[in-house]
Structure 1
Amino acid sequence: MTERMSAEEFRAIRHEPKPSKYRNRKTVVDGIKFDSKREAQFYASLKQLERAGQVYEVELQKPYALTVNGQLVCTYRCDFAFYDAIQKRNRVVDIKGVATKDFNIKRKLMLAVYGIDVEVIR
């Protein structure tokens, strides 16, 4: 004889959170929700460097409009953009476990349109 489950039991099973596609875990630091633990760790280290005066103007999720021949192709949103006082340059950083095809195209467009080489931290 087979066991039957009630509708409530079925709904409870069906609504269990599905793991993320790349197995990353959302993490909160300073009230900011990050897509992964690695991204949150990078933010924490960046904040320490900012307190030490080694980086300035830290921006999270900064958008860049990627326009070619007057046509908006897409928008790239980096994880971190900041000025590095030690290297004396602006840096754009993205934390990636897996570099997707879309990301690779946007990275090349960032270099072509703005002359910015996006740094990838794995």
Structure 2
Amino acid sequence: MKYRNNPTERVTSSGAVIRFDSQKEARRYDHLILRQQAGEIRDLRLQVDFTLQEAYTDQEGRRIRAIRYRADFTYRERDGRLVVEDVKSRPTRTREYLIKRKLMKEQRGIDITEV
């Protein structure tokens, strides 16, 4: 139970169970599903990974892991614009997240929408 969140599940129309880290994230999913059904957005995806820096081997031969950011949701607006969303609360706006948010803007030109 990271950050004292209550993990929550939702069942999709196909019967699949999706587990969310918090009730807030599950409620946001419910809202986005309704928007997609209404034709306001399309291509809703969950837990999308973005590589911000590839893995590499340093001069001493040590393997350095890639830096990745995992978005809670991505989708496209009617005009085709990609939206990357992260459900945040004060405790989840960590120093690491803030750095990755800056790297997303600098490396990918993507602003993360915090909900």
**Fold match (TM-score > 0.5):** yes
TM-score band by shorter chain is 0.7 to 0.9
Give the structure 1 partner of residue 86 of structure 2: 94
The alpha-carbon deviation at position 73 of structure 1 amounts to 4.5
> Is the radius of gyration larger for structure 1 or structure 2?
1
Paired with 1:73 and 1:29, the residues of 2 have a C-alpha distance of 31
Q: Deviations over 1:31-80 (max 9, x none)?
A: 10000000000000100111111110011000000027x85650101000
**1:23 is aligned to 2:9:** no
Percent identity of paired positions between Structure 1 and Structure 2 = 36
State the number of aligned residues: 100
Aligned partner (choices 84, 97, 113) of residue 103 of structure 1: 97
TM-score for both structures, normalised by structure 2: 0.80
Greater than 3 Å deviation, 4+ residue runs: 70-73
Give the structure 2 partner of residue 79 of structure 1: 72
Give the structure 2 partner of residue 113 of structure 1: 107
Q: Deviations over 1:66-111 (max 9, x none)?
A: 027x8565010100000011x6411000001120000000000000
Paired with 2:2 and 2:31, the residues of 1 have a C-alpha distance of 26
The alpha-carbon deviation at position 21 of structure 1 amounts to 4.0
Paired with 1:80 and 1:114, the residues of 2 have a C-alpha distance of 16
Structure-2 change in CA distance of 1:112 and 1:73 (3 Å) = farther
Give the structure 2 partner of residue 56 of structure 1: 42
**1:32 is aligned to 2:24:** no
**Where does structure 1 lack aligned partners over 5 or more consecutive residues?**
1-19
By relative contact order (CA 8 Å, sep 6+), the higher-ranking structure is: 2
The alpha-carbon deviation at position 23 of structure 1 amounts to 1.4
Paired with 2:75 and 2:2, the residues of 1 have a C-alpha distance of 29
**Where does structure 2 lack aligned partners over 5 or more consecutive residues?**
12-16, 57-64
